[in-house]
Structure 1
Amino acid sequence: MTATYSGPAKLVLASGARITGMASLSTNRRGELNGWGGTFRPDEITADLRNAAEGLHLELPYERVGTVSVSRIRKLLATQLLMSLTGPGPAPF
């Protein structure tokens, strides 16, 4: 396991819908196993995605999955969002 991850990911909504995008993640406190977080930039924006907050999972390559919640959503450009995510427990990267 490493303290950071940057690359492709899928955000799985509570409805089961999968949204592909790019994630930039890191562990809290230099590698401790007590939480992690970062950002997710989705490839597409849907109404369900805009309303997503809890009951979410982030899938990384090689079937690594972590539970996440959305702490903030920022508009980057007219067609792009940047979601701030937090995850409890061990990081999936």
Structure 2
Amino acid sequence: MTTTYSGPARLILADGARISGMISLSTNHRGGLNGWGGTFRPDQVTTDLRNAAEGLQLELPYDRVGAVAVTGMRKLLATQLLISLAGQGPAPF
């Protein structure tokens, strides 16, 4: 199993809405902690996305899905947003 993934992905909101974008993920095996996370840059920014926090899933190519939680959001440009995510459960990559 790989320890990183960068490429296309979709963030699935709690209401089932799918937001396409690009993701950069990695696993974390430091200090005895097994986890994964990274950043997601959505193609479009919506109010629902800005308010998203719980019940989220990340869908990678080949129908790989993992549960995630938003740990932060940062504006990149006037129309772009960078979302920090922490994975829950096994990494889907």
Classify the TM-score, shorter chain: over 0.9
Aligned partners of 1:29 and 1:84: how far apart in 2?
Answer: 18
Give how far 1:88 is off: 1.8
- CA RMSD of the aligned region, Å? 1.4
Match of 1:77 in 2: 77
Match of 2:91 in 1: 91
Gaps of 5+ in 1: none
Closer, same or farther: CA 33–64 of 1 in aligned 2, 3 Å: farther
Aligned residues: 92
Where is the helix percentage greater, Structure 1 or Structure 2?
2
The answer to whether the 8 Å contact 2:69/2:88 transfers is no
Give how far 1:68 is off: 0.2
Gaps of 5+ in 2: none
TM-score in terms of structure 1 length: 0.94
Segments ≥4 residues shifted beyond 6 Å: none
Aligned partners of 1:39 and 1:5: how far apart in 2?
Answer: 11
Aligned partners of 1:12 and 1:88: how far apart in 2?
Answer: 14
Identity of aligned residues (%): 77
Closer, same or farther: CA 87–33 of 1 in aligned 2, 3 Å: same
